[in-house]
Amino acid sequence: MDLIETLFVFVTEDDTGEGVALNSRVPGGVLMAADEARVARLWPYAMATAVASARPVTLVRFDRAEVIRTYDPEREIAPP
């Protein structure tokens, strides 16, 4: 399996702090992408989210992939 090396995430702030921007018109609702072509397709949704929430939406890029933990249901028993 190839790791996603770069992840782009649209973030916004609400009264409790920073969080990932959501838009119900995007499958899965989360505004994030693994390549710039997808970022370009999500940009109109990010702008619509900013307008609807009256809050800025910021695009952030994460460039370091590090596997922290993997769960394989074919090899491990799920905890109760």
C-beta of residue 20 within 8 angstroms of C-beta of residue 9? yes
Task: For residue 67, tell me if it sits in a domain.
Answer: no
User: In this predicted structure, what is the pLDDT of residue 27?
Assistant: 80
Report field, pTM of the whole predicted structure over 0.95: no
Task: For residue 2, tell me if it sits in a domain.
Answer: no
> Which phi and psi (to 5°) does residue 48 adopt?
-65, -35
Q: Which domain holds residue 29?
A: 7-62
Unique residue bearing structure tokens 């969080």 = 19
Domain total for the chain?
Answer: 1
User: In this predicted structure, what is the pLDDT of residue 74?
Assistant: 84
Unique residue bearing structure tokens 């790791």 = 3
Q: Which amino acid is at 20?
A: V
User: In this predicted structure, what is the pLDDT of residue 59?
Assistant: 94
User: In this predicted structure, what is the pLDDT of residue 1?
Assistant: 66
Task: For residue 37, tell me if it sits in a domain.
Answer: yes
**CA 41, CA 3: separation in Å to the nearest integer?**
22
Task: For residue 35, tell me if it sits in a domain.
Answer: yes
Unique residue bearing structure tokens 């933990």 = 69
pLDDT tens, per residue, the chain with 80 residues: 677 889 999 998 877 877 888 888 888 888 999 999 999 999 999 999 999 889 899 999 999 878 888 888 888 776 76
